[in-house]
Structure 1
């Protein structure tokens, strides 16, 4: 079956119905003497994968743009389309084809037309089926009896397997996905004494939908990461982004429920560990997805983490297809009924965000108002920790923050993206004065570099930097009082994700911190890691 069966099985059936002598020679495999009427017949044989999702039933042969009246099989094709309705075309209105047709593919087409003929007979449309066609179909059934029996056996086995899977599936409403990260990491520098470590993090996501437009997310997490001591004492943003330390105890890391209100409004109810960057499509997701993107904590504008985050509500309204407005409120200690805590009386944050995006360009503006009822930390490098004010009796001062941010990304080509952000945090220490903290970054990404799924990321950033205070001074690590950071350090990061398979990727990465803590008296720090991610 070389020449005739280059057409799809339906055209072959059409030719069968139109010219039994021609088909008898073809079925026997003797087609050397058969000459098509024209050379324009081109109906491509379809694989099973192509056939199911891509074909659409046509009601007139004129709907097939690549089938012409001068084609040798036109009349037979017209009969199958308009008389029997057992032929389909591609969504673009073509019929295609040039490849050889196997006997099994022909048998599958024959079986489809047999089913269609049975439908016509059952619906009292038997007058549409003439004796010649029935005789041809009967002859073909005998010729392809083995293939038909095999195909029907496969269908029965597939149906049995499907029934078994449905009976034993995890849930009819819940999808389970998982991710495991294994990372070998170390730090280097004149004052660094950390050892090489191998650490892991596991996440299991249960996503349930009850209406089709809602989603309940339950994320379980366990990990054995420990922070690098020297890095953590100077800058939080220099730590590994996916570091999670639970002593391998499984905890509920994220619990939220989202639902649709009308066509344009989405609402998220956060029960714990809510993060604005988990909900909003923070610009430049090639960087922000720290599971497979950036390796350092400074993967997006840190103002989104400025407030205490826990329970709350977030909404996003689509003003137009390209323009979105996001609003959110979160409480830092919503579960604690003690004075100064709870859903409304403790640390909290309000967020407003406006995003405009097209296929190649996105820009977003964000405003975050935070209130920390008792800010007390000694770490440098995080917006929430840059201002440490402790009274003589050891009590801490409440801090109000107004944070302004802008981020953008632009796809220069499908394989090159440039992005960046800038943020200003104006902290008000109640009863004392205020302080300004700046941060900004520039990123360059090369998706699919080397092969599909690979990703090269480069980030050059200035971590949150105290640029000035009024009304008070801040003590550095050596106890020296100052109003601003003395120098400007850089966070330079590069990582390359290599996609081994659809489910496994390996990403070597390095972070270089110059003048850590924006103080040139601190020696440079280099953090290196080799991250392997398993997703299933």
Structure 2
């Protein structure tokens, strides 16, 4: 029976086998614009079950004999599957290429029946119908066969030369033109206002071994100057960290590994273990989706998210998120800044560290609210910097470079009434305590807040117009004589991200700091920036 079948159809099993390779996923990619392939049909059938009638394809017009013939074969042998909405490929008529793909599916099904079932299962009338259909669509079938052969060769070459079956490479390159402007820098003296052109490049190797886990190894290099008060190795540009950019960092463009971590599911929890480069703001929700990214979000350091997520960074630790996709998410993290050093004042438990807990409430798609607590310990070994170089110098070191602890409380929220509008903000209160030095046992209170507004697709699809206004960390009360910030600084930022493609975005913007260092005796400082981001 098998031999007579091929004689009737006048096609060899080898040819039909080549045709049926159309089920290969490579064919689906190549002929996507013209044909719904057998592979696509098969994929859909795994999810929605077998379609039993061509008439279920609402946009196939049953106007000729070919439709009726294929309909009969489909109903008799169940050889085509379609889409859940009952259409074949959108709201349009079935093309000859699509029909040929369906014919391939029926040829495949009949071939299986002949090879495995009884000889009288496929009738002579159906064999004759298949022969006529094959003759009618011979040109389309030949085209499909040629494409299959070419794609198989290309697929084999790609598989032979692919980097890894488990690892993907992601990259981001930033070109930045920026400059600070004003009368004087904080502390007196001319503000260093020469325009800079600098870059930052990151390459991330991300591997998955089970499909549910992720191993990240990231390379980083850059030469973007920090617009702050400087140090022995950096120029004093503005005299305050309030003017820092959110993507700055200068390694002299020397390449180094700045992150190694592994994330996996453990029951209902998502666990992430950082070996180096741990960042709280990358491990848990910071409730500022439009502005949190250094490459595509806010231009300033403070505008990206609440400082409570900067209480510790750069070290190692573990983060656990329970029910991360639910209405209520519980998050916990413990990070140590210098965990690989065994000397006193270092290691996992004796060095600078942060323990954080967070509850996120998402009663609807539009509203998301978080309550966060972080206990932070920092010593002189790693340098005291309670708010990660946001806010005033006094807020980051209320007792100088002596060991300090802080209890930090924060509330964050984001509200998206529509897909094109996001309103958000945060507020935080911290109580710092000196653990050593002349002020040991004394306390200092700090407060900060911000509001954000993001308008998506403003002017063009993919663009973002953003505004950020707030007050960065300020010491409002201190038991140390003269240990309070005298006035209030205000942070104002406006940016416009223009997306030219999925891989290129240009973001001009301006940052204005009123009363820098919470002192109205200081002149207003402006920072203008044009950030160009390439991602791949």
TM range (shorter): 0.7 to 0.9
The Cα shift of 1:102 comes to 4.2
| 1:136 lines up with 2:129 in the alignment | yes
Partner of 1:444: 453
The Cα shift of 1:494 comes to 1.1
In the alignment, the residues of structure 2 paired with residue 388 and residue 49 of structure 1 have an alpha-carbon distance, to the nearest angstrom, of: 66
In the alignment, the residues of structure 1 paired with residue 483 and residue 36 of structure 2 have an alpha-carbon distance, to the nearest angstrom, of: 66
In the alignment, the residues of structure 1 paired with residue 374 and residue 395 of structure 2 have an alpha-carbon distance, to the nearest angstrom, of: 16
In the alignment, the residues of structure 1 paired with residue 72 and residue 261 of structure 2 have an alpha-carbon distance, to the nearest angstrom, of: 57
State how 1:9-408 maps to structure 2 within 5 Å: 47-48=34-35, 52=40, 55-56=44-45, 58-61=50-53, 64=56, 66=58, 79-94=72-87, 99-124=92-117, 126-191=119-184, 192-229=191-228, 234-262=239-267, 264-298=268-302, 299-307=304-312, 309-318=314-323, 321-357=326-362, 358-374=364-380, 375=383, 381=391, 386-390=396-400, 396-408=401-413
In the alignment, the residues of structure 2 paired with residue 243 and residue 382 of structure 1 have an alpha-carbon distance, to the nearest angstrom, of: 18
Partner of 2:20: none
Partner of 1:466: 475
TM-score by length of 1: 0.82
In the alignment, the residues of structure 2 paired with residue 76 and residue 380 of structure 1 have an alpha-carbon distance, to the nearest angstrom, of: 73
The answer on whether the counterparts of 2:35 and 2:97 sit within 8 Å (CA) in structure 1 is no
When residues 320 and 218 of structure 1 are mapped into structure 2, their CA distance, relative to the original with a 3 A threshold, is closer
Q: Which moved more, 1:232-241 or 1:249-258?
A: 232-241
State how 1:468-507 maps to structure 2 within 5 Å: 468-470=477-479, 472-473=480-481, 482-507=482-507
In the alignment, the residues of structure 1 paired with residue 90 and residue 308 of structure 2 have an alpha-carbon distance, to the nearest angstrom, of: 56
Partner of 2:526: 526
The answer on whether the counterparts of 1:383 and 1:464 sit within 8 Å (CA) in structure 2 is no
In the alignment, the residues of structure 1 paired with residue 416 and residue 325 of structure 2 have an alpha-carbon distance, to the nearest angstrom, of: 21
When residues 380 and 148 of structure 1 are mapped into structure 2, their CA distance, relative to the original with a 3 A threshold, is closer
The Cα shift of 1:521 comes to 1.1
In the alignment, the residues of structure 2 paired with residue 197 and residue 466 of structure 1 have an alpha-carbon distance, to the nearest angstrom, of: 32
When residues 359 and 384 of structure 1 are mapped into structure 2, their CA distance, relative to the original with a 3 A threshold, is farther
The answer on whether the counterparts of 2:54 and 2:74 sit within 8 Å (CA) in structure 1 is no
Q: Which moved more, 1:308-317 or 1:227-236?
A: 227-236
The Cα shift of 1:424 comes to 0.7
**SS class of match (1:127):** coil
The answer on whether the counterparts of 1:496 and 1:508 sit within 8 Å (CA) in structure 2 is yes
Q: Which moved more, 1:197-206 or 1:210-219?
A: 210-219
The Cα shift of 1:307 comes to 3.1
Cα displacement string for residues 70-112 of structure 1 (whole angstroms, at most 9, x for unaligned residues): 9998975652332121222211345587635544333333333
The answer on whether the counterparts of 2:180 and 2:238 sit within 8 Å (CA) in structure 1 is no
Q: Which moved more, 1:103-112 or 1:396-405?
A: 103-112
In the alignment, the residues of structure 1 paired with residue 461 and residue 35 of structure 2 have an alpha-carbon distance, to the nearest angstrom, of: 25
When residues 143 and 406 of structure 1 are mapped into structure 2, their CA distance, relative to the original with a 3 A threshold, is same
The answer on whether the counterparts of 1:302 and 1:383 sit within 8 Å (CA) in structure 2 is no
The answer on whether the counterparts of 2:34 and 2:97 sit within 8 Å (CA) in structure 1 is no
| 1:455 lines up with 2:464 in the alignment | yes
Q: Which moved more, 1:449-458 or 1:74-83?
A: 74-83
The Cα shift of 1:59 comes to 4.3
**SS class of match (1:286):** coil
User: How many residues of Structure 1 are paired with residues of Structure 2 in the alignment?
Assistant: 477
In the alignment, the residues of structure 2 paired with residue 382 and residue 254 of structure 1 have an alpha-carbon distance, to the nearest angstrom, of: 28
The answer on whether the counterparts of 2:307 and 2:390 sit within 8 Å (CA) in structure 1 is no
The Cα shift of 1:462 comes to 0.5
Partner of 1:409: 414
The Cα shift of 1:382 comes to 5.3
Q: Which runs of 5+ in 1 are unaligned?
A: 1-44, 391-395, 474-481
The answer on whether the counterparts of 1:405 and 1:424 sit within 8 Å (CA) in structure 2 is yes
Partner of 1:419: 424
The Cα shift of 1:411 comes to 0.6
TM-score by length of 2: 0.82
Cα-Cα RMSD: 2.9
The answer on whether the counterparts of 2:52 and 2:75 sit within 8 Å (CA) in structure 1 is yes
Cα displacement string for residues 490-519 of structure 1 (whole angstroms, at most 9, x for unaligned residues): 111111111101111111111111111111
